[in-house]
Structure 1
Amino acid sequence: MSATFGGRPGRQGRLSQWLLGRRPKEDATSDGGREPLLLAAAAAGLPLAPAAHPAPGYRCSCDRVGCPTPARHPVSFAWQTQSTTDRGQIERWARHQPQANFITATGMVHDVLDVPLEAGREALDRLLGAGVEVGPVAESDDGRMLFFTHTRGTPEDEDEWWPCELDCHPETMDEHPGLRWHCRGSYVLVPPARLPGDDREVRWVRGPEHALPDPLSLLEVLTDACARYVGATADQPGSAWPLRH
């Protein structure tokens, strides 16, 4: 059965009515709409912390001149220890900071496989069509799709562990335009979140009520879709994916 979440159809099954909300897109980040969505993410085990929000003129709410990641970063340098799933704390943050976005720290409970939007949509269709268990998925209006998975950041064999710096971290995302694996030491915006610009946001395609899968169950299809996307865009003028040697 088809369902719609965050404005995009999919085969992800029927979502709970209170989470879906049937609300217009512009209401998703209002005081009345965002708190239940944040609490649903926390209830699913995603640790949250407050983040910056857009300011007029495509600027960031932080006081950093020329902020490189406007409205996309935590407000505290202690975000890793501050991140929590505690309902009361998240309610207090949401009410005392009504404009704030929220990040979720990766590598604790979950990782995030972050891919270009078109590649992600192709991969999602293929995964669902093949009957693969896909967890929560979010879309960002800056052209990315986020696949939430179990973390590989704390394996029993520490020789298998790697920090996010070996892939990318938020301050170097422009240097990693392909698949980004957010694990220990990184974070992503958690829906609903607002981005600089008119009506730009991060929203759920598949909500946090979906169980987190093993990232390796998605990785082959995601990397294949990304490779197809590179091949289709590499020769286009102004391509966001230049091939480097």
Structure 2
Amino acid sequence: MSATFGGRTGRQGKLSQWLRGRRPKETAADDEGREALLLAAAGAGLPLAPAAHPAPGYRCSCDRVGCPTPARHPVSFAWQTQSTTDRAQIERWARHQPQANFITATGMVHDVLDVPLKAGREALDRLLGSGIEVGPVAESDDGRMLFFTLTRGTPEDEDEWWPCELDCHPETMDEHPGLRWHCRGSYVLVPPARLPGEDGRQVRWARGPEHPLPDPLSLLEVLTDACARHAGDESGHQAATWPPRH
């Protein structure tokens, strides 16, 4: 579906102009632009569901005391079945919940390779310089870069799945510090999304959803090599199950 979206030159041109016109630290105050970006993501095949948003005092809109992932988690426990690409439903959510962030559920249509920002920027330059097809890429002001790829699909043998967790990897490969492979049972924030803080932190597209989703294995070697070189950049980086349970 991402390739089809990329062929809609009129909408793609308007989206690209809007993306270029935004300042990096600008908040998503433009409701029309916010809705356009969400519909673009859905049009590229990314299933969306509403998520929490920042509340005053570095808190989360869910009001859970000590929320471990403020403004970064779905609002419904049924987010996996709720996630959709239906345009009318996403428009209703966006208009009725104007402050909400949105997540996209991985492992259905797409996976996400989630790496430290410095490693991601280095890898992106190398990938583009080598002529490797790179799909949508998002940057998060909490220090991560998200590479959106095709999912590896549901294998006939369920034992072939590996869990989606911090520093996860297929059993046949070595461990890759700093890499999170979001597949079935996981999610990530989809731009535009706001993060807690008074400095306008957000998640935004570095490369928009008009770019076709690539095979994750075509990116993995360059990403893991960059992660290995920047392994020391994540002080306090701890292994934990992802996504956190709410």
In the superposition, the TM-score normalised over structure 1's length comes to 0.83
In 1, Cα distance between equivalents of 2:111 and 2:100: 23
User: Residue 182 of structure 1 corresponds to which residue in structure 2?
Assistant: 182
Aligned position for 2:22: 23
Deviation at 1:27, TM superposition (A): 5.0
Question: 1:166: how far off?
Answer: 8.2
Q: Would the alpha carbon gap of residues 195 and 127 (structure 1) be closer, same or farther in structure 2, given more than 3 Å must change?
A: same
Contact 1:114/1:180, CA 8 A, preserved across alignment = yes
Q: 1:211 to 1:61 in 2, by over 3 A?
A: same
Q: Do structure 1's residue 149 and structure 2's residue 149 form an aligned pair? A: yes
Partner SS, residue 221 of structure 1: helix
Q: Percent same amino acid among aligned pairs?
A: 85
Distance 1:186 1:43 in 2: 20
| Deviation at residue 154 of structure 1 after TM alignment | 1.2
Question: How high is the TM-score relative to the length of structure 2?
Answer: 0.82
CA displacement at 1:96 relative to structure 2: 0.1
Task: Provide the C-alpha distance between the structure 2 equivalents of 1:29 and 1:144, rounded to a whole number of angstroms.
Answer: 23
The answer to whether the Cα contact below 8 Å between 1:230 and 1:241 also exists between their aligned partners in 2 is: no
Unaligned runs of 5+ in 1: 1-14, 169-175
Paired residues, number: 217
Displacement of 1:177 in angstroms is 6.9
1:132 corresponds to:
132
1:52-81 CA distance string (max 9 Å, x none):
000001100002111000000000000000
> CA separation of 1:32/1:71 partners in 2, compared to 1, >3 Å: closer, same or farther?
same
Q: Cα distance 1:99–1:167, how it changes in 2: closer, same or farther (>3 A)? A: same
Q: Is the 8 A contact 2:27 2:194 kept in 1?
A: no
Q: Work out the CA distance in 2 between the residues paired with 1:219 and 1:230.
A: 16
CA separation in 2, counterparts of 1:153 and 1:65?
37
**What 5-or-longer segments of structure 2 have no aligned partner?**
1-10, 169-175, 240-246
| Partner Cα distance (1:196, 1:65) in 2 | 15
Aligned to 1:225: 226
Relative to structure 1, the CA distance from residue 130 to residue 157 in structure 2 (aligned partners, 3 Å threshold; closer, same or farther) is: farther
